[in-house]
Amino acid sequence: MLVGVKILVIIALMGGLIAYMGDKLGTKVGKRRMSLFGLRPKHTSIIVTIVTGLLVAAATVGVLTITSQSVRTALFGMDQLRADMKQLNDEVAAKTQELIRGQALLEQNKQELAERMAEIEQIRKEVDATKAELASAQAAKDATAAELATLQASYDEVSKKLADLEATRAKMEAHIKDLQATQEQLQNGIIHLREGTILFQVDQLLAQAVVRPGLSEEDSQAAIKNIIDDTNKLVLHRLGIEDQGQAVVYVDRQNIEVATQKLNSAKTPMVVQVVAAGNIIAGEPAVAVIQVYPQQFIYKNGEVIHSAVMDGGPNAQSAMLQFLKQVNEKARAKGIIPDSLSGDIGTIPGDDLFTAIRRVATIHGKVHVEAYVDGDTYSSGPVHLKLRITQMPVFNDKAKMPAY
């Protein structure tokens, strides 16, 4: 921009200077009436003016040619410029053809891309469908596996129950054999009942022991076995048999298992009693039953079990027997294990009982009787009784009898 302004300024200055000089020269030629080439002065001044204009044009072209590459190219390189333009046009045409071919190829590629995208979309849909089928198959597989696990668990449970039933069947068969043997023994016992001597009556206590709690299953089995062995020795002694290894006491196997389980699960001391299941006759096997009860502290020494007021006199014996019956009932209700044969809960010396009856019989009026415990007593018993007899004071009608 700045160069163009400078060129214009130079052209203007040169044109003005040449015009000025031409004007001065024309003026002088006119004043002096100069003639050029024999022409008239007027024509000479015209020629000077024309020459001056040509000089202005030539100077302008010269300046432009010197200062502008474009002017030089226009004046002297037009043919080369045309050739270059033709070459460029040919190149543009070639590039245009290439562009057209490229656009056609691009359109073809776009179409192929669209087809590939459609194929990809179809493949994606097929993949999604395959994934859905795979998920469904996996779910079916998981369901089948869960069902198989359930069936396996059911099979294991049924197998366990079958094994338990087989074990129960074996126990029942053994129990049936024991019962058959017991039945045979009882039948033989009935046959020989009139001929034999009854050593122990049915429900009679053969042996008794207290077993501590916290035993394992093996220790519980050993404790039951020891009690049965001791009972066997007792019966052998009563039978007069010296061979201590001979087994004469028989206990049902299921009864032994139940007793063992009670000892194994006990949290407190337990009383184990061996009771005759039937009359035990000399020369016959002794069938017994094991009974297990909790061992509990019931009475402390001197504790009163029962007290009552009765009439003295000739009915003393029946009154005392009724009193002892009430003592027996109260002790049983408190937790004392009664004798399996007699149902009694304890003992009282015969002399003490007869003495108490005689004393009550000799008293005229009301008698206060107390039954108390002689020594600390547990549920296994027996209760050792003592009697305390007190004659009640006699009051007149205005006095009040003390309450007991």
Residues 307-317: tens digit of each pLDDT: 889 888 888 88
Q: Is residue 373 part of a domain?
A: yes
d(CA 155, CA 161): 10
Please indicate, yes or no, whether residues 267 and 305 belong to a single structural domain of this protein.
no
- Pair 200, 340: CB distance under 8 Å: no
Choosing from 294, 321, 337, the residue where a domain stops is: 294
CA distance 11 to 6: 9
What local confidence, expressed as pLDDT, does residue 236 receive? Answer: 83
Residue 146 lies in a domain: no
In a domain, 140, yes or no: no
Same-domain status, 257 and 323:
no
Neighbours of 69 (CB within 10 A): 9
Is the domain of 261 the same as that of 305?
no
* Residue 298 contacts residue 271 (beta carbons within 8 Å): no
Q: What is the pLDDT of residue 357?
A: 86
Looking at the structure, do residues 377 and 308 belong to the same domain, yes or no?
yes
Distance CA 134, CA 126 (A): 12
Residue 404 scores a pLDDT above 50: no
Peptide bond into 314 cis (omega under 30): no
Domain annotation covers residue 158 = no
Strands 286-294 and 249-251: parallel
Note whether 286 and 304 are same-domain residues.
no
Domain-ending residue, one of 242, 260, 294: 294
How does residue 168 score in pLDDT terms, banded at 50, 70 and 90?
A: confident
Considering the domain boundaries, does residue 110 fall inside one? no
Q: Looking at the structure, do residues 257 and 313 belong to the same domain, yes or no?
A: no
The CATH number that applies at residue 358 is 3.10.20
Task: Clarify whether residues 288 and 249 are in a common domain.
Answer: yes
Phi, psi torsion values for 389, nearest 5 degrees: -105, 130
In this prediction, residue 399 carries a pLDDT of 44
Q: Give the mean model confidence (pLDDT) for residues 107-124.
A: 91
User: Can you give the pLDDT at residue 403?
Assistant: 40
Averaged pLDDT, 186-208: 66
Q: What is the pLDDT of residues 11-53, one digit of tens each?
A: 677 677 777 776 776 676 666 666 666 666 667 767 777 777 7
Q: Domain check: are 335 and 365 in the same one?
A: yes
Is residue 160 one of the residues assigned to a domain? no
Contacts of residue 384, defined as CB under 8 A and 6 or more positions apart, other chains included, come to: 346, 347, 348, 373, 374, 375, 377
* Residue 102 forms part of a structural domain: no
The pLDDT score that the predictor gives to residue 302 is 87
**Which range among 111-120, 217-226, 253-262, 330-339 shows the weakest confidence by mean pLDDT?**
330-339
- pLDDT in the model for residue 117: 92
Our separate counts of H helices and E strands in the chain read: 8, 12
Same domain, 288 and 309: no
- Domain range holding 256? 195-294
Domain membership flag for residue 136: no
Asked whether residue 233 falls in the same domain as residue 289, the answer is yes
* Three-class secondary structure of residue 28 per DSSP: helix
Domains in the chain, number: 3
287 and 220 assigned to the same domain: yes
Q: Is the pLDDT of residue 377 over 50?
A: yes
| Shared-domain flag, residues 316 and 253 | no
Which one is predicted more confidently, 204 or 3?
Answer: 204
**C-alpha gyration radius of the chain:** 72
In this predicted structure, which of 29-33, 267-271, 289-293 has the lowest mean pLDDT?
A: 29-33
Q: What percentage of the chain's residues is helix, strand, coil (to nearest 5)?
A: 60, 15, 25
Residue where a domain stops, chosen among 51, 76, 101: 76
Average pLDDT, integer, range 115-134:
91
